Amino acid sequence: MLKTAGYSIILGLDPGIADTGVGIIKKEGHRLSSVFYTSIKTAAKSPLADRLSLLNTELDKLIKKYRPQIISVEELFFCKNIKTALVVGQARGVLLLTAKQNGLPIVEFTPLQVKQAVSSYGKAGKQQVQKMVKLILNLKELPRPDDAADALAVAICAANSI
């Protein structure tokens, strides 16, 4: 498991097939700071296998570049559309496999846990989560896109839970 003393790099993921949020933070003692954040985008008209392959390739590059010590992934908690849930579940599977292939420990959190970790309110809205992520990580502006802000929140949740 992740050492709490000293310095650690935590990679947070907000899984999606069109956009997978990626947020990398550094933990030094009780201080958290942003290292990098982005969204891995896949083309809607591309075949599913190509989109999943792109997620694998891009995440693998980020892992090799930033060398996180642990990966934190948001669980698929609720989805109104079964087809969407299945595809997002496949994307999550690829992300988990990529982390495992890189020998990284994985922690998973529900959206409720993530929202509570950053805002102290499990039903916080997107805007409130973004504002708290900005405040916690001492960012100059709200992190964008939304998926990247969510991924940073997942990483913060891991940092505060370990």
Q: 14: burial class by Cβ within 10 Å (0-12, 13-18, 19+)?
A: buried
**Which residues are catalytically annotated?**
14, 74, 147
Q: How far apart are CA 134 and CA 155, in angstroms?
A: 13
Residues 6+ apart with CB under 8 A from 134: 141, 142, 143
Other residues' Cβ atoms within 10 Å of the Cβ of residue 30:
8
In one letter, which amino acid is 94?
V
Contact predicate 132/139, CB 8 Å? no
